[in-house]
Chain A
Amino acid sequence: MEGTLSTPRRLSAWQKLRWLIRGKGAQRSQALWAYAFLSLSVLGLLIFTILPIVGAFGLSFVQWTLLSPPKWAGLSNFQRLLSDKYFWNALKNTFYYVAGVMPAIVISLFLAVLLNQKLKFTTTYRVLYYLPTITMWTAIALVWKWLYSPQYGLVNWALGLIGINGPSWLSDPHWAMPAQIFTSWWKGAGYNMVILLAGLQGIPQIYYEAASIDGANWWQRFRHVTLPLLTPTIYFVVVMTFIGSFGVFSQIYIMTEGGPGQATTTIIYYLYSNAFKYFKIGYADVLAIAFFVVVFAFTLIQTQLQKRWVHYT
């Protein structure tokens, strides 16, 4: 455990001073005060975070409808999970959604690079791109449901102008998920852009000057200076985007309710349905465990893979 944290080991000047003046008693009093200060936070963390984490594992072994007391179910919830075609479908849909959302990182990177030029109005652009990310998903999902309206929506009207007969997006099983993905692009592009922009601004100017002296053109500078030095930020963005989009729920709930059919039922939407529509608490909890396993596995794989492509200076 030692050494993995960035807590300062050394004693600060005033701590040394207290130590010298008051000796052992002061050290003890400091520790007691520290425990008193932490007690509220630790108690809250235990009750509202750690207990539920333990509970998440415990509940996966019971059968419970909330109406009668829970029954021990052994591994039957897990067995059911493996043979539940709706679960596999939801998992597939979620991966489809995530795979669709991840490429938006390239758009965010592109925008960040453009905004990193010394141009006028960059603050205005940044605020406009950022606007969708700070807004409430429920409201945004309603707006997009209306935009995607097959007959009266703006999307199909605009497509009509260039001679394309747009599909009935949200009620078409083939187009519902792409429509959800595009909405996520629109809403999320600004968030990753700001993170990547902060990363870009952390690259020392001197590298670019050196590259210019060597006669590198803009593409070579981007490819051999910007991109390698930005990999820690890109890595962070990839992991956070995966975790965030794997838990997609609000927009599904408002825009398609998991449909048409099961076309947009994602893991968390399926979990919500099981727990709060069908009251299958134990089974829904197993879905939460499955969710955790996938997210955890992805993060683990990424932390291994990053050694190959992430450059730390």
Chain B
Amino acid sequence: MPAATRDPYQRVSQAMSRTVIHLILLGGATTMVVPFVWMLSSSLKTNLEVFHIPPTLIPTVPQWHNYVEIFKVVPYGRWFLNSAFIAIVQTVLYLFVASLAGFTFARMRFPGRELIFTLYLATLMVPGEVTLIPKFILMKELHLIDTFAAVILPGVFNAYGVFLLRQFFMTLPESLEESAILDGASYFRIYWNIILPLAGPGLATLSLFSFMGAWNDFLWPLIVINSENMKPLSVGLASFHGLYETNWPYLMAASTVALIPIIVVFATAQKYFVRGIALTGLKEG
């Protein structure tokens, strides 16, 4: 906004509109935060205080032990570790598979490149829900039901990552590889030693999306995991809810802990998130 702040009338009106905008944004931000505060507050109450009317914001005696109990009444720790394992392994495999394929599409020439890439893009047109049942049958036939492999594998080969990293690699200048080629470096070394080290932001964006997607995913693990000890946190929480339907302090404590890793990841890598949305979201327009 070009500001002509010399005119006192305009300066006052600008200050006023700024205040109004802040008030609106503050109101919105409060709406966003209140459910989290309520969750945290409920998680520290007794099973009696939680039903008080009017509700108390600060629990009279904070029940920190609720956070210990949830690890005892259900295999919460196990679920947490399952989720961490699934999210990390899926992200590492996804990054490797997608970056190697992305590099190949972005930097190498071979017959059929356009055709194969079109096929990759075409699979992105089919929402995951459509293939839910055939994927379940496939996992059943492969005897992978109730294993982490069943949860992890479909996500590893998602064409989205190949597309995103190809777009990113294409923004890197090609002069980078010239000297390596003259030195007779292999293609794999160009990928591993030259392209990957420069692809930090692209890889960070993809790993952020992948980790958050895997951590939060619900429907697919709900289908392929049956036994209590194999459940990721999202599915575990749902069965916790089934067992302790009205024990809100426990449920809210369990929900709070489930959100922590994502909030930490997001806080440390926020800029990649916005960047990732800008990079992929607007390309399609």
List A residues at the B interface (Cβ < 8 Å). Answer: 1-2, 4-5, 7-8, 11-15, 17-18, 27, 30-31, 33-35, 37-38, 40-42, 44-45, 47-56, 58-59, 66, 111, 114-115, 117-119, 121, 124-132, 134-140, 142-144, 146-147, 151-152, 154, 157, 186, 190, 194-195, 198-199, 202, 208-209, 212, 232-233, 235-236, 240, 243, 247, 249-250, 253-254, 268, 271-272, 275-276, 281, 284-285, 288-289, 291-292, 295-296, 299, 310, 312
Additional pairs, 4, CB under 8 Å, beyond known A137-B216, A138-B218, A198-B274? A45-B120, A49-B131, A55-B134, A139-B258
**Residues in A whose Cβ lies below 8 Å from that of B25:** 111, 114-115, 121, 125
A144 to B103 alpha-carbon distance, docked (Å): 43
List B residues at the A interface (Cβ < 8 Å). Answer: 1-2, 18, 21-22, 24-25, 28-29, 31-36, 38-39, 42, 50-51, 53-55, 97-98, 100-101, 103-105, 108-111, 113-120, 123, 125-138, 140, 153-154, 156-159, 162, 170, 174-175, 177-178, 181-182, 186-188, 191, 212, 215-216, 218-219, 222-223, 233-235, 237-238, 241, 248, 251-252, 254-256, 258-259, 262-263, 266, 270, 273-274, 277-278, 281-282, 284-285
**Residues in B whose Cβ lies below 8 Å from that of A247:** 127-129
Is there contact, CB below 8 Å, between A129 and B282?
Answer: no
Minimum CB–CB distance from B185 to chain A (whole Å) comes to 11
8 contacts between A and B (CB under 8 A): A14-B175, A44-B153, A140-B35, A209-B2, A233-B281, A288-B131, A288-B132, A288-B133
**Residues in B whose Cβ lies below 8 Å from that of A235:** 285
Q: Is the interface of B mostly helix, strand, loop or mixed?
A: helix
**Residues in B whose Cβ lies below 8 Å from that of A4:** 118
**Residues in B whose Cβ lies below 8 Å from that of A56:** 130-131, 133-134
Is there contact, CB below 8 Å, between A127 and B216?
Answer: no
Q: Given the interface contacts A12-B174, A17-B181, does A38 sit within 8 Å of B255 by beta carbon? A: no
Q: Given the interface contacts A139-B237, A232-B282, does A131 sit within 8 Å of B32 by beta carbon? A: yes
**Residues in A whose Cβ lies below 8 Å from that of B39:** 143, 146
A243 to B179 alpha-carbon distance, docked (Å): 46
Is there contact, CB below 8 Å, between B251 and A142?
Answer: yes
Q: Is the interface of A mostly helix, strand, loop or mixed?
A: helix
A52 to B157 alpha-carbon distance, docked (Å): 13
Tally of A-B Cβ pairs under 8 angstroms: 310
Is there contact, CB below 8 Å, between B178 and A14?
Answer: yes
**Residues in B whose Cβ lies below 8 Å from that of A125:** 25, 28-29
Is there contact, CB below 8 Å, between A152 and B104?
Answer: no
Is there contact, CB below 8 Å, between B187 and A37?
Answer: yes
**Residues in B whose Cβ lies below 8 Å from that of A42:** 101, 116
Is there contact, CB below 8 Å, between B54 and A48?
Answer: no
**Residues in A whose Cβ lies below 8 Å from that of B1:** 117-118, 208
| CB-based nearest B residue for A2 | B114
Is there contact, CB below 8 Å, between A40 and B100?
Answer: yes
A208 to B1 alpha-carbon distance, docked (Å): 8
Is there contact, CB below 8 Å, between A250 and B38?
Answer: no
A139 to B259 alpha-carbon distance, docked (Å): 8
Is there contact, CB below 8 Å, between A146 and B252?
Answer: yes
Is there contact, CB below 8 Å, between B35 and A136?
Answer: no
Minimum CB–CB distance from B131 to chain A (whole Å) comes to 4
**Residues in B whose Cβ lies below 8 Å from that of A190:** 32
Is there contact, CB below 8 Å, between A34 and B104?
Answer: yes
